[in-house]
Structure 1
C-alpha cells in the first residue's frame, strides 16, 4: 500500500492553510477555464442570426474545445508531470485566455472555429493537472469529496460564463462577453505562480520518495491494467455525454421553447448548471461517507446516479414547456454529474500517486471523447432533423450505457485493488485505499 501511505505523508507536510489557498487559486482558474469555454452557449442565438449558422455548426463551435481537450490532455498532462505542474498550469491559462480574446475579434465562423480550437489546446490538460495539484496537498481519505468539489468548478464556471455572458452580450455585444472572460483569466494567470510554488506543493518527503517509485513504463501501464479502472473511465465519459449536451444547448432550448431573451435564457441555464455543480459536490461527499466500510459502493452510487438521470430527464422532455418540466430538468441535472466524484476517487485509488496527473488526463480524455465533445455535436445534428426537444428526448439513453459500465466495474473493484496494491503483508489494507 505504498501509494496510500505516500499520499498521506506527502499531504501531511503541507500546512492546511496553504493547502486551502492552493485549492482556492486552482479552483479559480478552473472557473476561468469554463467561463471561457461556456460563454459561447449564451450567445448562440446572436451568432446564429448574425452569421446564419446551422445548429450543427453551433454544435461544432462548442464541441471543438472538448475534442481538443480529449486529444491533447494525455500528452500535455504527462509533460506537466515531468516539467512542473505550476508552470504548466500558468501557461495553459494564458493560452486559453488569449484564444478567448481572439473569439471576441472573430469576423466569421471560420475565424471563431480557429479561436475555439486554440481555447481547447489551452484548456486541454488543466483539469487533470489541476486536480493532481489539489490531491497532492490533502489527505487521501478526502479524494471523492475533493474531486467532486474541484470538478464542480467547471459547473460554477459554466454558470458564470453563461449567466454573465448573456448579460454582457445583451447590454453591450457578444464580443464584449468573450473579452470579459479573457481578461478575468489573464488576471488569475498572473497571480497564480506568485503564490503557488512547486517547492511548496511537492514536500521534501514526497520528493525523496520519488526514486523508489516504479519505472515510468510500468506506472503508465497501470493506467489501464484493471477492468474496474477502465470501467470508471468509460462510465464517467458516457455519463458526461448528457452533461455536455445539456450545458451547451439548454440556453437555446429556453430561447426557442420558452421564448426567453438571451440574457434571461442564459441566467436560467446558469441556475441549472449551478444545481448540477451542487449535485457534483454533494454526491461526492455522499460517496465518501457511504463507502467507508463498503468501498465498492462508489460504483453502486455511480450506477444509481446514471439511472436517476435517465429517468428524470426522459420524463422531463416528454412534458410540455412549463414549471413541472423545469423542475424535472433541475432534478436530472442535480444527479447528472454525480458520478464525477466517485469516478475520480476510483481512478486515484487504482493508479500510482506519481502519475495522478496522467491518470486524470486519461479520465479527461475519455470524458471528452465519449461525452463532452460528441454531446453538443450529436445533439445539434439530431436537432437539425428532429428539433431540439426531439433530440433531448433521445440523448438520456446514453445514461443507461453508463449505468451498465459502472455495474461491470463494481464486480471487480475489490479484487483489482488487492491485485494492484495488496501484497502478502498488506493486502488487508486494500479496502483502506478504496475507502480513501
Structure 2
C-alpha cells in the first residue's frame, strides 16, 4: 500500500466511501436501530418531571423506573447475545426492535407507578438486546481498518435518537396539557417497528458468522451457555464487564437526571431545558463521530483514557461548581462530547476481544452487565439526592464510573486493526 493510499485510508470519510453495498446497508440498518432504540429509552427522562408532579413520585421512585429498565436490559442483552450466536445477528436484531417498540408504546397506557414499572421492565429486555445484536453485526461486516470508525459512527445514532426524543418532548409539552403529553410521547415509541421490514429485505448475515456456523455444524461442537465464563475467555469477560460498567454508569447517572436537574435546581422552563439539552446532544453527536475516528487513529485504549479523564473534569464542573446559566450552556457541549464519545470505541473493542463462536454471547453479556450495574446509578442518585443536592449526587456517581472505565481499559490489550476469523 502506498503512502498516499494509507493516508487516504486514515481520513475521516474514506471508510464510508469505500464501503460495499452490503456494508452500507448494514451500517444504515444498525445506525437507525440504535438511534430509534435511544429515542425510546430517552423518552422516559423527559417524562420524569411530569410524573413527579402528577403521580407524586419521589426522586427515588423515578430513579427506580429508570433502573428497572436498565437492569432488565442487562438480562435481555445477554439473552439476545446467546440467541445471536444461534439463530443469527439479523434475526435477533429484528426481534429485539419489535420488542422494545411495543413495550414503549404500551408504557403510554400506564395508570399507576406499578403498571409503568412493569412496562418499562419489559421494554428493557428488547432495549438491551438491540445493541448486543447490532454491534456484533456491524463489527463483523465491516473491514478491520475501518471497524472503529464504522461501529463508532453507528453509536452516534444514539445522539440522533436522543435529539428526536428531546424535540418530540418539547413540541408535545408545548401543544398539549402535561397530563396527556407524556402519554403521546410514549406512543411515538412504536415507530421503530417499521425498521424490521428493511432488515428482512436488505441485510444479510456476516460471512465470518456464516462460516463459523458451518464449522460448528460439521464438528457438532456448539458453544455452551457458560463458555464465556471458562478458560482464556473468562479474563476477557471480567475486564470487559468492568469497562462497560464504567461506561454505562457514568452515562446514565448524568443523562437520566439532566432534565430534572435543569428544571428543579436551575429553575429552567421546559422550553429552556430543551435548549440546554440541545447543546449537550450536539456535543454528544460530535463526540461520537470524533471518538469513532480516534478509535482507529490512536487506538481503543487511548480513546478511553483521554475521554474518561476529560469527562471527570467536565461533569464535576457542571454539577458541583457554582456557575451561572450562561456558562452552563457553553459547558454543555464538552459535557456531551466527553460524556458520550468514549462509547464509539466500546463496540469495536468488544467485537475484537471475543472469539466468533461466542462473540454475541460475550459481547452481549459484558456490555449489558455494565448496563445492569450502571442501572443502579440513577436509582442511587435519586436516593442520595434526599440528603444532598441532586447535582452533587449526579457528579459523585459519574466521576466514580469514569474512573472505573479508565482502570479497566488499562488492564485490557489494544486490538486496533485486528482481523476477525471464523472458528468453531
SS at match of 1:258: coil
Q: Of the candidates 123, 129, 133, which is equivalent to residue 129 of structure 1? A: 133
Aligned match for 1:91, one of 78, 91, 95: 95
| Among 23, 30, 36, the residue aligned to 1:26 | 30
Residue 116 of structure 2 corresponds to 112
**Alpha carbons 1:281, 1:341 under 8 Å: kept:** yes
Alignment of 1:294-373 (within 5 A): 298-317=300-319, 318-371=321-374, 373=375
Matched, 1:46 2:31: no
Q: Do 1:162 and 1:267's aligned partners in 2 also have CA atoms closer than 8 Å?
A: no
Q: What's the counterpart of residue 433 of structure 1?
A: 418
Instruction: Provide the aligned C-alpha RMSD in A.
Output: 2.9
Deviations 1:146-189 (A, max 9, x none): 2222222223212212331232233231111111122x122223
1:248 maps to which residue? Answer: 256
1:120–1:229 distance in 2 versus 1, CA, 3 Å:
closer
Question: What are structure 2's unaligned runs of at least 5 residues?
Answer: 1-17
1:188 equivalenced with 2:191 (yes/no): no
Q: Cα gap change, 1:126/1:223 in structure 2, threshold over 3 Å: closer, same or farther?
A: farther
1:385 is paired with a residue whose SS is coil
Change (3 A) 1:160 1:375: farther
1:330-370, Cα deviation, whole Å (9 max, x unpaired): 31331123332333333222211233222220232232023
1:227, distance to aligned residue in structure 2 (A): 4.5
Aligned-partner Cα distance in 1 for 2:100–2:420: 36
Q: How far apart, CA to CA, are the structure 1 residues paired with 2:240 and 2:138?
A: 20
Deviation at 1:206, TM superposition (A): 6.1
Q: 1:264 & 1:194 partners in 2: Cα distance? A: 42
1:29-428 maps to which residues of 2 (within 5 A)?
29-172=33-176, 173-182=181-190, 184-198=191-205, 208=214, 216-217=223-224, 220-221=228-229, 225=233, 227=235, 230-291=238-299, 298-317=300-319, 318-371=321-374, 373-398=375-400, 399-409=402-412, 413=413
Distance 2:72 2:357 in 1: 25
Aligned residue pair count: 396
**Structure-2 separation of matches of 1:395 and 1:328:** 19
The gaps in structure 1 that reach 5 residues or longer are 1-13, 292-297, 418-430
Deviation at 1:238, TM superposition (A): 1.1
The 1-side partners of 2:138 and 2:204 are apart by 13
Decide whether aligned partners of structure 1 residues 66 and 270 sit closer, same or farther in structure 2, where only a CA change above 3 A counts.
Answer: farther
Query: Take 1:124 and 1:374, find their aligned partners in 2: how far apart are those partners?
Result: 15
Q: Distance in 1 between matches of 2:294 and 2:308?
A: 15
Equivalents in 2 of 1:376, 1:356: separation in Å? 29
Compute the displacement of 1:54 (Å): 0.7
Structure 1 CA distance for aligned equivalents of residues 194 and 272 of structure 2: 28
Contact 1:222 1:351 in 2 (8 A): no
Equivalents in 2 of 1:336, 1:43: separation in Å? Answer: 22
Indicate if the aligned counterparts of 1:163 and 1:263 stay in contact, CA closer than 8 A: no
Give me the whole-angstrom Cα distance separating, in 1, the residues matched to 2:380 and 2:232.
28
CA 375–151 in structure 1, closer or farther in 2 if over 3 Å, else same: farther
